[in-house]
Structure 1
Amino acid sequence: MELVKSDALQLSKVGLGCGVFGGAYGITSQDNVMQTVHKALSSGMNICDTSPYYNDSEVRLGKALLELQEEFPRASYYICTKLGRYGYTKAEFDYSAQRVVESVHESMRRLHTDYLDIVLCHDVEFVDVAQVVDEALPELFELKRQGIVRKVGISGYPLDTLLEIAQIQQQRGQPLDVCLSYCNFNLHCQLLDEFIPKLRSAGIQTIISASPLSMGLLCANAAPEWHPAKQELKDAVARCAELIAKSGADVSLAEMAEHFSFSCTGADMHLVGSKTEAEVSHALGAYERAQRLNLGAGGRYDDPQVQRLYEQIRDTLEPFSMYTWPSPPADA
């Protein structure tokens, strides 16, 4: 797989999102986790993304990596994890310097490693910006100075918040290495494309685009009950899925969504949650096809019927292209 070089990190263009190991999208066995991680690493994916917030995802990923260590030694892949968020509500966030240090060491124990390649402040919009830039990030950069953390960054949903923090860090002479944005470049929202140049100008080396299926919204089945999108968008997505089902075309809404999301060339890499070997293979195949189609730059499907469906779907979802749901939610 093609690698993108970002300073000292050479990341695969598609990375393994391991939040799905925590059960939010269905339960999977530890054996299955190990097989999924093996499939990802042996297929060229070289970065695994997790977080303490994703239930036991770190534990399960760590066990799999430990079991695979002879075939895939620690230096052959990158681990990205997060800190600061440990539950659903704002009360379950802790960005204090002491908790940053504790969280990093807890993650290393769970992941059976003595260093972490990337550590992100998780869902930064849930706390005051001052907590991120005055408490968490200075401590993370100190851990980077010590060699415990290789790259420091932030993750979250509202792009204006991510940009604000990146700009503050740049002004302070300590620019962030990594920024992870999720659900902001897909069939129903293309805001990330507008923000990528701004994030680059703020000194971000690596921009990660996550969740091409918008946390399960852009699938043929109904979105997860907890999905935060407004009902009008959910209804529009359901109409798109019905269009494809009635057409009998050899394509799914999820495939179209992946092809479009993977066409975001401004992002350095894409994170895809995969909890089975088949899902890993599917994600990699979708990425390769997306590069051939190049939908983001005016490319077209070879099949005229599929192309017509794609245009109908884009028209149906276009009214939501600048829409974002509230984050944090009102009940957080």
Structure 2
Amino acid sequence: MANSINLVAGRLPLSKIGLGCGVFSGAYGLAPQADATKAVRAALRNGVNLVDTSPYYGDSELKLGSALLEVKDEFPRSSYHICTKVGRYGYHISDFDYSAKRISESVYESMRRLHTDYLDIVLCHDVEFVDIAQIVDVTLPKLLELKQQGLVRKVGISGYPLEVLLRICQIQQERGTPLDVCLSYCNFNLHCQALTAFVPKLRAAGVETIIAASPLSMGLLCDGETPEWHPAKPELKNAVKQCIDLVQSCNEESKISLAEIAENYAFSYSDVDVHLVGAKTAQEVEHALRAYARAQQLQLYAFGKYEDDNIQSIYSQIKTILEPFAEYTWLSPPSNA
């Protein structure tokens, strides 16, 4: 299966699928250390070479670090790339600290948790929660200094509002220090394709690596209950519920789930460099990799065609139900932050 994951160009040879380790926090269900270790091993054995985490994700860094220690004989540090984040340490705006001192401390703390003496990628986490001036005048200069010291290899940003991400990237380009990486989440999936209009603009701003995270829109496009904390408005949640009911009513004939259709669609978008997928077990990792391989055959984003007429009918109806939300985004930061 490893051969099905193409490597993208750039100084960091990243696999097209990255392992999102935020799910190790338990936000999407129980995530024991043993399962996390098996998930990391399965990902690395199948050609995934990017693991993503953050201090904000509970004990994710600790679990990922323990997993990487456990597999070190099979996978030395040079065989994979670690992406972590700085600046966000809780839910509320008061839990953000983008000062140069805290950024430096955070990098060293992450290295200790992850048992490494360098970090491949460090992103400013959820940049929309603080003033842009803080990011471009204080935080990014500090990260670039740490990059010069060899502690960080690539510097970038992550967040939700695409306009904010783009503006920061443009400012950095204007200053002669373009960002290496930009991570956008929930902006390309079955219900929202807003990212497509921004990818060319991010490229024009000098961004080397664009990462699209959460193909299942933080659990919204799954077949079970939507996480209680999910920020989507009720109208979108109700539309997704219609899609779930549709798939389940046809399940005897189709043998497919909403999550599978969503993954087939998201992974067929090839203009980004990496699709970041949360997986907390080896089985979830293997499922995601099969979905990626399937997506390369189907190319739903480009052509929108299943070979099975029953599944094609379901997919067409789902796209019709979700079409009104193609450009919809929720408020970030939320009003109660």
Q: TM-score range by the shorter chain?
A: over 0.9
Alignment-derived partner of residue 166 in structure 1: 169
1:5 aligned counterpart, secondary structure? coil
Cα offsets for 1:287-306 (capped at 9, x unmatched): 00000000111141110010
1:176 aligned counterpart, secondary structure? coil
* Structure 1 position 157 matched with structure 2 position 148: no
* Structure 1 position 235 matched with structure 2 position 238: yes
Cα offsets for 1:153-194 (capped at 9, x unmatched): 000000000000000000000000000000000011000011
Give 1:321's match in structure 2, choosing from 321, 326, 332: 326
1:331 aligned counterpart, secondary structure? coil
Q: Structure 2: which amino acid aligns with 1:321?
A: A
Cα offsets for 1:268-291 (capped at 9, x unmatched): 010000001110000000000000
Q: Is residue 84–residue 123 contact of structure 2 (8 Å, CA) maintained in 1?
A: yes
TM-score (norm 1): 0.99
Distance 1:318 1:5 in 2: 31
* Structure 1 position 280 matched with structure 2 position 285: yes
Distance 2:107 2:9 in 1: 22
Q: Structure 2: which amino acid aligns with 1:134?
A: D
Alignment-derived partner of residue 103 in structure 2: 100
The percentage of aligned residue pairs carrying the same residue is 64
Distance 1:242 1:312 in 2: 12
Alignment-derived partner of residue 305 in structure 2: 300
Q: Is residue 269–residue 299 contact of structure 2 (8 Å, CA) maintained in 1?
A: no
Q: Is residue 144–residue 155 contact of structure 2 (8 Å, CA) maintained in 1?
A: yes
TM-score (norm 2): 0.97
Distance 1:290 1:211 in 2: 16
Q: Is residue 247–residue 258 contact of structure 2 (8 Å, CA) maintained in 1?
A: yes
Distance 2:10 2:106 in 1: 25
Alignment-derived partner of residue 84 in structure 2: 81
- The Cα shift of 1:264 comes to 1.3
Give 1:54's match in structure 2, choosing from 57, 71, 81: 57
Which ranges in structure 2 are unaligned for 5 or more consecutive residues? none
Distance 1:204 1:212 in 2: 21
Distance 2:308 2:10 in 1: 40
Q: CA RMSD in A?
A: 0.7
- The Cα shift of 1:31 comes to 1.1
Runs of 4+ residues over 6 Å off in structure 1: none
Q: Is residue 6–residue 206 contact of structure 1 (8 Å, CA) maintained in 2?
A: no
- The Cα shift of 1:310 comes to 0.3
- The Cα shift of 1:247 comes to 1.0
Q: Is residue 99–residue 139 contact of structure 2 (8 Å, CA) maintained in 1?
A: yes
Q: Is residue 8–residue 16 contact of structure 2 (8 Å, CA) maintained in 1?
A: no
2:178 aligned counterpart, secondary structure? coil
1:4 aligned counterpart, secondary structure? coil
* Structure 1 position 312 matched with structure 2 position 317: yes
Give 1:11's match in structure 2, choosing from 7, 10, 14: 14
Distance 1:75 1:227 in 2: 36
2:155 aligned counterpart, secondary structure? strand
* Residue correspondences, number: 332
Q: Structure 1: which amino acid aligns with 2:194?
A: L
Distance 1:98 1:154 in 2: 18
Q: Is residue 6–residue 205 contact of structure 1 (8 Å, CA) maintained in 2?
A: no
Q: Structure 2: which amino acid aligns with 1:34?
A: T
Q: Is residue 22–residue 57 contact of structure 1 (8 Å, CA) maintained in 2?
A: yes
